[in-house]
Amino acid sequence: MGADPVAAVTGDRPIGVAIVDDHPVVVEGVRAWLATEPRLTVLATGDDPDAVLRAAPNADVVLLDLRLHGRMALDKLAELSATGRRVVVYSEHTDPATMLAALDAGAVAFLAKHEGREHCVATVLAAASDRPYVPPALAGAMVGDPRPDRPTLSDKEREALLLWFQSMSKASVARRMQISEHTVKQYVDRARIKYTRAGRPAATKAALLARAIEDGLVRPEEIGIYRSQATHDRPTP
Amino acid sequence: MSADLGAPAHPIRGLEVPERTSGSAPPEPTSSAGLAAPAAVAHASDRGARIVAVAIALAWHVAIGLPAVLAARAEFAVPAVVLGGWALVAVVGAVAGVRLLRGSPLPPWPLAGVLLAVDVAVFVAVGERQLFTAANWVWGTLGWFFVLALWGRRVVGLIALLTTHAVIALVAVLGHGPDPADVARYVMYVYGTFSLPVAVFVGSAVIVSLARERAAVSAAGHGLAAERDAAEHALRERRDRLALASSAAGRVLGELAAGQVDPGDPEVQRRCMLAAARLRRLIAESDDVPDPLLHELRAAADLAERNGLPIDLVTIGTPPPLPVEIRRRLADPLNGILADARGWARLTVVSGPNEVVVSLVTPDREGPEATGPPPGEHDDGQVEHLYERDGSIRWAQTQWRR
């Protein structure tokens, strides 16, 4: 549906993915999805984040089910993000508050479980290169964010998020807004980058921000609080 | 005085029309005066009678009693007592009258005691020659003050006071030496002093109770009229809704029943779906739920799903309370496209305090526009419609802004 989110892959080495989920059938399903993309390889799976990461210390991306054994793993998510682990949260809990809380805790991306293979692969590929990927459900959560301290989005960014949430087709959004698909993606990604200032600081947020600046997606002053040490905090893949 | 005015509740408040969310206020009573409490009417009527009683007592005391007392003041046995009694009753009577008119009468029995004491003193002090003249003012006047003292109480008390008054007079008459002529005059006087105050006292009580009854009857009549108004209002609402439902489904059902159309025809099936969607939404509209708009959209989504269309309904935020008209304009334009949809549909609602955006996306199909609004944008007041198809999707959006 959307354009290929990743222009360049990190080196020749395939991207290592760790899957943490307490439902074996989901693990197998996600593994099958990711297997359709040759640049991705699943290194370890399991229902305990610590055990999985001990088994695969070099995983580039962690796919984390937010609800493990009946409780929300937001604190675990924050802990992993703080150490620079690129965590893609995927969950059947798609209420906007949960999604925004996951972003605040440092998740690189939030994927709703119903959003399917394409979004899953695209999100993991983007996360591996510290680039944002905003699936439609997350776009909806951002555009409807009721919190008083939410980031200030421009009209175009809001419109792009709303239409992307509604239609799930960047091509249709582009036709509707009479801009290119690339520009639609830019608006959406810029909105996402503005969210790196929400919640507690995390190494993953700094990495997203640094890459966005490097890519020319945003200027530091647009974000408001840019810490220059962010580039040094970037985890090495 | 008006403390009990609001006591009986307006009967209309209990008759809320069923359409709570339509924004229409319950019918107002046609005449608020007609719904005044019977007690208030009785109160007003009683006040008139009190004014009359106070006026009679004081006017009699001043206009008839005073000139006679002054003219004969030299001929009393003890003039000071007669004059002093007159003045005391004038003051006490005036205070009692004012208090009665203000609704806080003086305590009746102490007041009656004072009056009877004056009665005895005057009969003793007036002397034999003035016993049956107008100068013996207690004969005629005191009965009216008894009326003031016992206002609103049972007539037995008044009769007891008047009887005591008659006994005092009888003792005075007999004390001056029994004379048959005096006894005859005495009987006439007693009759005169009894009949008028008792007549006024009883008459006013009867008038008040009649007024209370009339007011109650009238209030009941107004209550009935208000009930009828409310019932008519509810009936009108129901008729309006029936008309809406008939326009939604009546025609296609009629044609199916008459065999004029073929149920296998996809166009007829589409019309049936559309009609069902409208009916479903109309039913959902009258449900009492916290989020009526979402409830109505969910009803439409349920129906589409039951007809085999996988549909996603995603909501962000909580819509503010919206009048039924706005909700209809937000939801109705999407029904046509939903009835046409094949494959899948995505229905989204994004709400903020000042804005609600509803969007429906379905795959674009071959073929001409079967239904739905004309492509393009239009704006009907507060709700903006947008519809387009771009070859891959059909996209309808309705947007409300405060």
- Reported ipTM: the value is 0.78
Across the range A95-120, mean pLDDT stands at: 88
What confidence score (pLDDT) does residue B7 get? 39
CB atoms within 10 A of CB B246: 12
Q: Which residue of A has its CA nearest to B360?
A: A166
What confidence score (pLDDT) does residue B255 get? 85
Condensed to tens digits (0 to 9), the pLDDT of residues B154-189 reads: 888 889 988 998 898 888 888 877 778 888 888 888
Q: Taking 50 as the threshold, does the pLDDT of residue B73 lie above it?
A: yes
Q: Taking 60 as the threshold, does the pLDDT of residue A208 lie above it?
A: yes
In this structure, are strands A40-46 and A15-20 parallel, antiparallel, or unpaired?
parallel
The chain A residues in contact with chain B (CB within 8 A) are 94, 96, 114, 137, 140-141, 143-144, 146, 162, 165-169, 171-172, 175-176
Model confidence at A230, in pLDDT bands (50, 70, 90)?
Answer: very low
Of B394, B401, B399, the C-alpha closest to B360 is B394
Residues in B closer than 8 angstroms to A165, CB to CB, are: 314, 316, 348, 350
Residues in A closer than 8 angstroms to B316, CB to CB, are: 96, 140-141, 143-144, 165
Q: Taking 50 as the threshold, does the pLDDT of residue B20 lie above it?
A: no
| Phi and psi, residue B71, nearest 5° | -65, -35
Q: How many CB pairs below 8 Å do chains A and B form together?
A: 51
Write the residue in A141, A144, A169 that is nearest to B393 by C-beta: A169
CB A186, CB A192: distance < 8 Å = no
DSSP 8-state symbol, B183:
H
Task: In whole angstroms, give the CA distance from residue B129 to residue B136.
Answer: 10
What is the fold, at CATH topology level, of the domain defined by A15-233?
Rossmann fold (3.40.50)
Q: Taking 80 as the threshold, does the pLDDT of residue B281 lie above it?
A: no
Three-state SS letters, chain A: CCCCCCCCCCCCCCEEEEEECCCHHHHHHHHHHHHCCCCEEEEEEECCHHHHHHHCCCCCEEEEECEECCEECHHHHHHHHHCCCEEEEEECCCCHHHHHHHHHCCCCEEEEHHHHHHHHHHHHHHHHCCCCCCCHHHHHHHHCCCCCCCCCCCHHHHHHHHHHHHHCCHHHHHHHHCCCHHHHHHHHHHHHHHHHHCCCCCHHHHHHHHHHHHCCCCCHHHHCCCCCCHHHHCCCC
Residues in A closer than 8 angstroms to B393, CB to CB, are: 167, 169, 172
Q: Which residue of A has its CA nearest to B319?
A: A144
Mean pLDDT for chain B overall? 79
Residue A4 structure tokens:
């290929």
Helix pair angle (A24-35, A116-128), 10° resolution: 70
Helix pair angle (B108-126, B138-149), 10° resolution: 170
With CB atoms and an 8 Å threshold, state whether B392 touches A171: yes
Site from A143, A166, A175 to mutate, B interface, most B CB atoms within 10 angstroms: A166
Q: A184-188, B52-56, B275-279, B314-318: lowest mean pLDDT where?
A: B275-279
Write the residue in A140, A172, A175 that is nearest to B350 by C-beta: A140
Task: In whole angstroms, give the CA distance from residue A123 to residue A146.
Answer: 25
Write the residue in B350, B357, B393 that is nearest to A167 by C-beta: B393
Task: In whole angstroms, give the CA distance from residue B294 to residue B292.
Answer: 6
With CB atoms and an 8 Å threshold, state whether A167 touches B314: no
With CB atoms and an 8 Å threshold, state whether A144 touches B395: no
CB A9, CB A129: distance < 8 Å = yes
Q: Which residue of A has its CA nearest to B357?
A: A162
What confidence score (pLDDT) does residue B377 get? 56
Q: Taking 80 as the threshold, does the pLDDT of residue A161 lie above it?
A: yes
Residues in A closer than 8 angstroms to B346, CB to CB, are: 166-168
Across the range A134-147, mean pLDDT stands at: 90
Report domain extents, chain A.
Answer: 15-233
The chain B residues in contact with chain A (CB within 8 A) are 312, 314, 316-317, 346, 348, 350-352, 357, 359, 361, 388, 390, 392-393, 395, 397
Site from B316, B359, B401 to mutate, A interface, most A CB atoms within 10 angstroms: B316
Across the range A64-91, mean pLDDT stands at: 88
Query: What single letter denotes the amino acid at residue B362?
Result: T
Residues in B closer than 8 angstroms to A161, CB to CB, are: none
Q: Which residue of B has its CA nearest to A145?
A: B317
Q: Which residue of B has its CA nearest to A112?
A: B314
Write the residue in B314, B350, B395 that is nearest to A167 by C-beta: B395
Report domain extents, chain B.
Answer: 33-219, 290-401
Condensed to tens digits (0 to 9), the pLDDT of residues B189-238 reads: 888 888 888 888 888 888 888 888 888 888 899 989 999 998 888 888 87
Q: B7-16, B116-125, B141-150, B224-233: lowest mean pLDDT where?
A: B7-16
Site from B311, B313, B314 to mutate, A interface, most A CB atoms within 10 angstroms: B314
Tell me the nearest-neighbour CA distance from A13 into chain B, angstroms: 37
Tell me the nearest-neighbour CA distance from B28 into chain A, angstroms: 40
Q: Between these two residues, A207 and A31, which has the higher pLDDT value? A: A31
Q: Taking 60 as the threshold, does the pLDDT of residue B117 lie above it?
A: yes
Tell me the nearest-neighbour CA distance from B398 into chain A, angstroms: 12
Tell me the nearest-neighbour CA distance from A178 into chain B, angstroms: 12
CATH top-level class of B290-401 = alpha beta
Residue A33 structure tokens:
């999805």
CB atoms within 10 A of CB B195: 12
CB atoms within 10 A of CB A3: 15
Across the range A45-65, mean pLDDT stands at: 90
